[in-house]
Structure 1
Amino acid sequence: MTLASSNYQFTYTPHYKPNQLICGYGQTAVITGWTVKQSVAKQLNPEDYAVIGNLYSPTRGISPLIRNLLANPHVRFLVILQATKEDKNAGGCQCLLDFLANGFTKGTSDTGRDTWVINSTITGYIDIEITADALETLRQSLDYKEVKSISEVVNYVKEFAKETHKQTWGEPLIFPIVETTPTVLPGPRYGHRIEGKTIAETWVKILHRIKTTGTIRPTGYDGKWQELIDLTAVITNEPPEFYFPDPNYLPIDRSFLQEYIPQILDDAPYTEGVKYTYGQRLRSWFKRDQIEQVINKLIGEIDAASGVMSLWDVNDHDKGGSPCLNHIWVRVVDNELSLTATLRSNDMFAAWPANAMGLRALQQHIRDAIAKRSDYNLQMGPLITISQSAHIYDDTWENVDKLISNQYAKIINNRDYFDPSGNFLIEVEDGQIMVKQTTSGSGEIVACYSGKNPLKLVRDICAASPAIQPDHIGYLGMELQKAYQSLKLGNRYTQDQ
């Protein structure tokens, strides 16, 4: 303790995620859920609170929060704010309240690791390295209040601050953390393309690509992430009602999606402590309804290349809290309406599936509005997301590994062999290898390659069709080598179909 203003005060010392916290000198920890913590802090004096911080996830956020509380036994009060739709959807604050009220049980995480499971209808974990005795002591030593508004937070914090300082409940407790570092294979850092029929399939492919070759670097949030830069994902056939695998391995379900889609489609009034919603940025932030603008633009000029919506405000540089989704482009080509979205920063494990489904709902909304107001009956084209920083945080690496182990092989093996670059027919004629490239649909011959050197032929084909799929290249290499051997030995060559 330190002496200040003739009152004994405490200093909160965070051992985990310190850069994400606002620290003070009191005995009350304020958990703001998804509400911006600075909107609470500006209405309080540092002497009134011990710490103010967000809680986004019950599986990833509660354990470091509890570690910090155990390391700061002078904290005797909690004020837990649940004020937003995001709080309801994520369930972090409710799960914390259930821990305080109902306790915990030894169990296993969804990755099979031993853990403490919070006794709650919401899945929440606490690291098994923390002893049960320490957790029980913490539960019994904290008074807590659940509140629904910032004004309630301020009132309770000030009320607690007036109470006579309580004694610390014990000595600071710090427990070891098990850390793992993934093995990373060589690969390009910039510019990646992944395609899938559904959002669920594409998501698994994305996570596999990041986990395999992504660069590991520190984040601004007291941790690490594994990152690829400029990752383009193309989803070709997401159904109108959305595809959820059975059993569902996505981090969201249909009930979450019903709450999330309005955050993209609908305007929202200003709410203290809430930075913005994507719908607010699209509908009213710039004093224009950009969704309506794009619909009217395309009805008036169906092949326009200027169906653009922007969510970036130049003032975001100064204010902070800038949106991850920055730019949306809608285009009609051959009676198909596609939507391309650019996200400057994208949590590909926890956020991308919801982002993609919300954007697909926006794409469907625009298509339906155009059909209702005009004679254009457009087909739904692909959804494309460009994630400029496509990353997965270190506290999800274990989950990603398990997902890849369970799902990636199934997805890769359950694929068709359609290649937009076309098909290649190989024959041996007049002492040379002849390769005819045809379109994927009509089978029209569009190019011919001939020679005796299979390696040169592969290189010529790849140079002319750089987007050819990797396994198609491998197949061509094997077949061209077989054709070369047949030519060399004077045998008859038949292409493997």
Structure 2
Amino acid sequence: MTATGKATQFEYKALHKPNQLIYGLGQTAVITGWTVKQAIAKHLQPEDYAVIGQLYSPTRGINLLIRNLLFNPHVRFLVVLNATREDNNAGAGECLLDFFRNGFKEGVCDTGKSSWVIRSPIPGYIDLEVEASDLEHLRHSVDCKEVKSIVEAVSLVKSYAQLEALSPWGSRLEFPMSIVEPSVLPGPRYGHRIEGKTIAETWVKIIHRIKTTGTIRPTGYDGQWQELIDLMAIVTDEPPKFYFPEPNYLPVDPPFLEEYTSQILDDAPYREGLKYTYGQRLRSWFKDDQIDQVIKKLIGEIDAASAVMNLWDVKDHEKGGSPCLNHIWLRVVDNELSLTATFRSNDMFAAWPANAMGLRALQQHIRDEIAQRSEYDLKMGPLITISQSAHIYDDTWDNAERLIANQYAAIFNQRSYYDPSGNFLIEVDGKEIFVTHTTPGSGEVIKSYRGKKPLSLLREICATSPAIQPEHTGYLGIELQKASNCIKSGKTYIQDQ
């Protein structure tokens, strides 16, 4: 207490993510996990707490949180709310608790960089630039407690606020932090198409495209992201039980996926402090079960183009916290069920693989329900996602670069030479090049081209069939030039030789 009888007031200053925190004047930091931080703050006075913030990821968030605590040694209590299924899935709160309970050791993070590794079954890292002795001092100077509900969190914070103020455990500590500066090649900003057989393959291609040509811009959430606008990803052949590479380089594993899938398929009751789930928006938010609606719609009209599910509520404009997934469209063509999902904003590194797998599970559920309720036995068609803002946050740029270095070349070298635009047969007829365009499956002749100049022929072909794959276009240019050279030299031209 001060001489005036008023409680000592402290000022919390954040070095990292300052705009994502709620600031107070006390000595207790509150970590709310996936629970909305305002759900705790509204029950407290600023004098009760030092800071309130959310923690989503152990690999992305704990390092910055620890750095902020080291810079604010007046914080003597830490309350970690570990209350939701999302908290259990992500494991960030548990990993943070393990830091204070079990400590850390030297090792490498998931990008291969030397780091302090938290002694926890959940991967969590702290930069090696932070001194080990200071981390140990922090661990033994801050009283860290886990709580399981908002009521319990508020009660504990208020009880700490009644205690006499403690002296800071040390002086402010700030450590250097390396910054990744990506190199960006020129490329289109709007409208991109990426296709792969599996979600894993498609994801690596997505990350490569964004890291190669994405625009770097501020996020509004303290930091930067690299972004492409309107990216369409098509997954053609994801197996029913999902493909997980070995070793698994995806940011999702089967146990996490099982829990995440339920958040898309199942309804959820309202709980204070928790955002909607996608399942809640689909099942009950608008008073009707939209998943059941589209199943009935397609059974009644199998070729309908209006099997639509909507997750956007016009009230989201005023309330904030609007869903990233906004629109889902089902379509049956040639006895094949496809699903197209539109995201207004999509974290392509950390979230897209789980998003895609959850949507694929929804697609499978709808296919199976249609089969059980009707005579239609549909095949599983492609999964298509349209990410209007497809981005990678700066705190995962290291991970993205490592993923590309380790996986992209192998995936690219497994590419298929199939082109849905068809095939082209090239021959020499006298002094002219003759090109026959055929369908990709049956080989039916569609069109023919004739001329002497390779570039003119290539331009004509591409103008007529603008969807030809880029590699195929390059191949045609090479073969047309070879045919032209053979005409000039009098040699016999044979395609692909």
Normalising by structure 1, we get a TM-score of: 0.99
- Indicate the residue corresponding to 1:177 in structure 2: 177
Residue 334 of structure 2 aligns with an amino acid whose one-letter code is D
- Indicate the residue corresponding to 1:102 in structure 2: 102
Superposed displacement of residue 3, structure 1: 10
Matched residue SS, 1:232: strand
- Indicate the residue corresponding to 1:333 in structure 2: 333
- Indicate the residue corresponding to 2:119 in structure 1: 119
In structure 2, how many angstroms separate the alpha carbons of the residues matched to 1:92 and 1:4? 41
Q: Is residue 2:447 matched to residue 1:442?
A: no
Superposed displacement of residue 7, structure 1: 2.5
The superposition leaves residues 305-326 of structure 1 with CA deviations (integer Å, 9 ceiling, x where unpaired) of 0000000000111111100000
The superposition leaves residues 18-43 of structure 1 with CA deviations (integer Å, 9 ceiling, x where unpaired) of 01100100000000011100111111
The superposition leaves residues 259-293 of structure 1 with CA deviations (integer Å, 9 ceiling, x where unpaired) of 11000000000011111000000000000000000
The superposition leaves residues 221-240 of structure 1 with CA deviations (integer Å, 9 ceiling, x where unpaired) of 11111110000000000011
- Indicate the residue corresponding to 1:324 in structure 2: 324
Judging changes above 3 Å, is the alpha-carbon distance between structure 1 residues 352 and 450 closer, same or farther for their aligned structure 2 residues? same
Superposed displacement of residue 6, structure 1: 2.7
In structure 1, how many angstroms separate the alpha carbons of the residues matched to 2:326 and 2:488? 58
Is the contact made by 2:12 and 2:50 (CA closer than 8 Å) also made in structure 1? yes
- How many pairs does the alignment contain? 497
Is the contact made by 2:7 and 2:165 (CA closer than 8 Å) also made in structure 1? no
- Indicate the residue corresponding to 2:371 in structure 1: 371
Matched residue SS, 1:7: coil
Q: Is residue 2:246 matched to residue 1:253?
A: no
The superposition leaves residues 384-432 of structure 1 with CA deviations (integer Å, 9 ceiling, x where unpaired) of 0000010111111111111111111111111220000000000111321
In structure 2, how many angstroms separate the alpha carbons of the residues matched to 1:267 and 1:390? 27
Matched residue SS, 2:248: coil
Matched residue SS, 1:184: coil
Residue 128 of structure 1 aligns with an amino acid whose one-letter code is L
- Indicate the residue corresponding to 1:283 in structure 2: 283
Is the contact made by 1:3 and 1:9 (CA closer than 8 Å) also made in structure 2? no
Residue 170 of structure 1 aligns with an amino acid whose one-letter code is G
Residue 219 of structure 1 aligns with an amino acid whose one-letter code is T
- Indicate the residue corresponding to 2:352 in structure 1: 352
- Indicate the residue corresponding to 2:30 in structure 1: 30
Superposed displacement of residue 92, structure 1: 0.5
Is the contact made by 1:2 and 1:11 (CA closer than 8 Å) also made in structure 2? no
In structure 1, how many angstroms separate the alpha carbons of the residues matched to 2:465 and 2:453? 18
- Indicate the residue corresponding to 2:149 in structure 1: 149
The superposition leaves residues 149-169 of structure 1 with CA deviations (integer Å, 9 ceiling, x where unpaired) of 000010000000000001111
The superposition leaves residues 422-452 of structure 1 with CA deviations (integer Å, 9 ceiling, x where unpaired) of 0000011132111111001000010111111
Superposed displacement of residue 2, structure 1: 10
Is the contact made by 1:2 and 1:10 (CA closer than 8 Å) also made in structure 2? no
Q: Percent identity?
A: 72
Unaligned runs of 5+ in 1: none
In structure 2, how many angstroms separate the alpha carbons of the residues matched to 1:362 and 1:131? 47
In structure 2, how many angstroms separate the alpha carbons of the residues matched to 1:496 and 1:464? 23
In structure 1, how many angstroms separate the alpha carbons of the residues matched to 2:4 and 2:146? 30
Is the contact made by 1:29 and 1:79 (CA closer than 8 Å) also made in structure 2? yes
- Indicate the residue corresponding to 1:343 in structure 2: 343
Residue 39 of structure 1 aligns with an amino acid whose one-letter code is A
Superposed displacement of residue 170, structure 1: 1.1
In structure 2, how many angstroms separate the alpha carbons of the residues matched to 1:47 and 1:169? 19
Matched residue SS, 2:58: coil
The superposition leaves residues 469-496 of structure 1 with CA deviations (integer Å, 9 ceiling, x where unpaired) of 1110110000000001111222211000
Matched residue SS, 1:327: strand
Q: Which runs of 4+ in 1 moved over 3 A?
A: 1-5
- Indicate the residue corresponding to 1:212 in structure 2: 212
- Indicate the residue corresponding to 2:454 in structure 1: 454
- Indicate the residue corresponding to 1:42 in structure 2: 42
Q: Is residue 2:194 matched to residue 1:194?
A: yes
Superposed displacement of residue 180, structure 1: 1.5
In structure 2, how many angstroms separate the alpha carbons of the residues matched to 1:359 and 1:112? 31
- Indicate the residue corresponding to 1:489 in structure 2: 489
The superposition leaves residues 293-352 of structure 1 with CA deviations (integer Å, 9 ceiling, x where unpaired) of 000000000000000000000011111110000000000011100000000110101000
Normalising by structure 2, we get a TM-score of: 0.99
RMSD: 1.2
- Indicate the residue corresponding to 2:407 in structure 1: 407
Superposed displacement of residue 5, structure 1: 8.3
Is the contact made by 1:186 and 1:213 (CA closer than 8 Å) also made in structure 2? yes
In structure 2, how many angstroms separate the alpha carbons of the residues matched to 1:365 and 1:112? 39
In structure 2, how many angstroms separate the alpha carbons of the residues matched to 1:155 and 1:78? 13
In structure 1, how many angstroms separate the alpha carbons of the residues matched to 2:14 and 2:265? 39
Matched residue SS, 2:60: coil
Is the contact made by 1:2 and 1:9 (CA closer than 8 Å) also made in structure 2? no
